[in-house]
Structure 1
C-alpha cells in the first residue's frame, strides 16, 4: 500500500486534478485539515472511507494514523491544502515515513497563489515590468526564517511578492515594504480563493491594512504585492511576436 500526499488545491472541489480525484476515490483512509479543506473536496471520497480531521493532531499523531492504516493494508491519502510543495510539512512527514519503511508519493495541486491571481484576473509576470515571483512568508508563531530571506531582501528585487501565512501581520508588512515599493504600490488580498465565501480586497501599501482589519480576515488569505497587479504598460512578450529576432534588434536600438 502507498501513502499519497495529495494537493487539494485552493478549496473548490472542481479544482482538484483528475489524478487527485482518482486518489480520493481509491482511498480507504483520508487525512485532511478541517481548517482549510472544503467538505466538497471530501465528497470525492468513498462513503465507506475513514475520514480523519488532523487539525487537532500533532505531527506524531498524524504519522501514527498513517502508519497504522498502512499496517492494516489500507490505501491512504494525506490531503494538503494548495500544493504539497509549499508550506505543507511534507518534508518532516515523509522523513518519518521513510524511517518507518512506509512508501509514499506526491500528487500536485493548484497552489493558492495561482487561484488568487485567477480571481484577480492578473498575470504576475508582465513584460518589461516584472519577470519574477517570490513566494514567501514571515515569522510569527512559526519556525525562524533564514537570515538571508528577510522580506526586505526579496523586496529589493522588485519581483511580485506573494505572502503566505501573513495576514495577521499585514500592517507591519506594509510598513516594511513602503521604502522599496512606495506607498502607492498596489496590493491585493484574496481569502478562500475559488470558494463561494471568498473575499477579495484591493488597495495600496498605504491603506490595505485598514481594509483587511475591517474585513476581519485572520487566515486562509494570500497577499500579493507589486506593480503587475495594475496590469501596466503596453510591452508584449516576444513569445508571440511574428519576428522575435527583428523585435529584439528594434528594442536594442530604441
Structure 2
C-alpha cells in the first residue's frame, strides 16, 4: 500500500486526469486541500470514504494521517490543487513519508496556469512574440531568492504567470515595470480559473491594479503578463504548406 498524490486540476471537476479520477473512486481515505480544491471532486469518492481537510492540519498531522491510513491497509489519496509540482509542498511530504517508511506514487494534474490560458483563449508561446514562459511568485511570508525577483525576471520581457501574489497586485505591477516591462504591456488576472464562478480581468500593467481593486480580487488568482495577451500574432512555420519535414514533403 502507498499514498497516491493526485493533482486535482485547476478547478472544473472534469479536468482531473482519468488516472486521478480512478484513484479518488477507489480511495478509502482522502486528505484534500480544502481551501483550494473544488469540493465537487469528492463526489467521485465512495460513500464511506474517510475525508480529512489538510487546510486545518499542519505537516506532521498530514504525514501521520497518511501513514496511519496506509498501515491500516487503506487506499490513501493526497489530493492537491492543480498539479502538486508547482507550489505544492511536495518535497517535504515525500521526504517525510520516506522517513516513515511509507511508499508513494505521483499522479500529475492540470495546473491552473494551463486552465487560465484556456479560459482566456491564449497561447503562451506565440511565434516571434514569446517562446518562453516564466512561472514565479512575489516574495511574501515565504521569501523568494533575490535572483528570482520580479524585477530580475522582468528583464526577459517574455510571457509570465505569477502565482500566490494577487494580494500584492499593485506591488507586482510596479516591480515588473521597474524591471523592464512597458506600462502598456497586456496583463490579466484570472480568479478561480475554470471554476463556475471564474472571473477574468484584462488590462495593462498600468491599469490592472485599479481593475483588481474595483472587483475586489485578492486571492485564488493568477496574474498573467506579456505580449502573448496582445493582438500581435505570427503563424507557426510548422503548418505552412512550403515547410518541409520528415512527415510532410
Measured against the shorter chain, the TM-score band is over 0.9
Cross-structure match for 2:13: 13
Question: 1:211 aligned to 2:202?
Answer: no
Question: 1:192 aligned to 2:188?
Answer: no
- Asked if 2 retains the 8 angstrom alpha-carbon contact of 1:70 and 1:76, the reply is yes
Where in structure 2 are there 5+ consecutive unaligned residues? none
Number of residue pairs the alignment of both structures matches: 244
Cross-structure match for 2:155: 156
Between the aligned partners of 2:201 and 2:130, the Cα distance in structure 1 is: 22
Q: Which secondary structure state, in structure 2, belongs to the residue aligned with residue 78 of structure 1?
A: strand
Cross-structure match for 1:252: none
- Asked if 2 retains the 8 angstrom alpha-carbon contact of 1:134 and 1:159, the reply is yes
Task: Note the aligned Cα RMSD (angstroms).
Answer: 1.3
Q: Which secondary structure state, in structure 2, belongs to the residue aligned with residue 79 of structure 1?
A: strand
What is the CA distance between 1:231 and its match in structure 2? Answer: 3.7
Question: 1:232 aligned to 2:232?
Answer: yes
Cross-structure match for 1:249: none
Between the aligned partners of 1:185 and 1:226, the Cα distance in structure 2 is: 6
Q: Deviations over 1:145-175 (max 9, x none)?
A: 1222111221111220100000001101101
- Asked if 2 retains the 8 angstrom alpha-carbon contact of 1:126 and 1:231, the reply is no
Q: Within 5 A, what are the aligned runs for 1:19-34?
A: 19-34=19-34
Question: 1:51 aligned to 2:51?
Answer: yes
What is the CA distance between 1:245 and its match in structure 2? Answer: 6.0
Cross-structure match for 1:122: 122
What is the CA distance between 1:218 and its match in structure 2? Answer: 2.2
Between the aligned partners of 1:229 and 1:139, the Cα distance in structure 2 is: 25
Cross-structure match for 1:96: 96
What is the CA distance between 1:46 and its match in structure 2? Answer: 0.8
Cross-structure match for 2:240: 241
Which segment drifts farther, 214-223 or 195-204?
214-223
